[in-house]
Structure formats: structure tokens, C-alpha cells
């Protein structure tokens, strides 16, 4: 069994329990997250760009998506501040230790 996101199921006209044909291949393309300018500036000013760059693609994507989903500028600003705090604490958006912490337990970059 393979779980398929609701957004993908909607695009292909399938529902939970439906059968689909899939193709799997090894993806070797580098994944890169487009970091919004205001968040990139905050990372640079906080000297956390290297820490963010060491995070997994998934963690980076979660932070960026969370910031970009803010509807108000004030909310966006507050989310950037919170993201900087969490990255400073070596945490993912959801509070678990980030991968780069495991590779560098002393927190030095």
C-alpha cells in the first residue's frame, strides 16, 4: 500500500481505496528550496544561513511553506522571528532536533 496525498488524488480523479498504476525511479536531482527574500535576510543577519543550508530539504521546505502561508504581514514577520528562534535552538519547525544537530552535536557550523 502506498499513501497518496489528497491533492494528488484530486488531480488524478482517484479516492481513498482506488487502485492506481505508478512508476518509481531513483531521483538524483538536487532539491533546492527557494527561500523568500525576507527570510533569507533574517537568516543572514542572524548568522544562521549555514545552519539552515545544512537542514534537510524537507525541513527547509516546511519552514518556507509555513512562512509563505501567512495571510497578514504581521503574521509572516512573527513566523520569521519564530523560525529564527527554532533554528537557533537547533529544532525543526515542529520542535524535533534537526539533522544537522546530529552531525554536529556542539552546534558549531
pLDDT digits (tens, 9 = 90+) for 12-69: 999 988 888 888 889 888 889 999 999 999 999 999 999 999 888 988 999 999 999 9
Could you tell me the pTM of the whole model? 0.66
pLDDT at position 67: 97
Q: How many domains does the chain have?
A: 1
Closest C-alpha among 73, 42, 2, 68 to residue 51 = 42
> Is 107 part of any domain?
yes
DSSP 17: T
- The Cα–Cα gap between 31 and 20 comes to 26
> Is 44 part of any domain?
yes
Give residue 58's domain range. 34-109
pLDDT tens digits, one per residue of 53-83? 988 898 899 999 999 999 999 999 999 999 9
Amino acid at each position: 500500500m502506498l499513501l497518496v496525498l489528497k491533492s494528488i488524488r484530486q488531480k488524478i480523479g482517484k479516492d481513498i481505496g482506488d487502485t492506481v498504476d505508478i512508476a518509481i525511479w531513483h531521483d538524483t536531482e538536487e532539491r533546492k528550496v527557494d527561500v523568500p527574500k525576507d527570510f533569507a535576510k533574517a537568516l543572514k543577519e542572524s548568522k544562521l544561513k549555514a545552519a539552515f543550508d545544512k537542514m534537510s530539504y524537507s525541513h527547509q521546505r516546511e519552514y518556507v511553506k509555513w512562512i509563505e502561508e501567512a495571510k497578514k504581514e504581521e503574521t509572516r514577520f512573527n513566523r520569521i522571528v519564530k523560525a529564527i528562534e527554532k533554528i537557533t535552538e537547533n529544532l525543526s519547525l515542529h520542535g524535533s532536533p534537526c539533522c544537522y544537530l546530529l552531525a554536529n552535536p556542539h552546534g558549531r557550523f
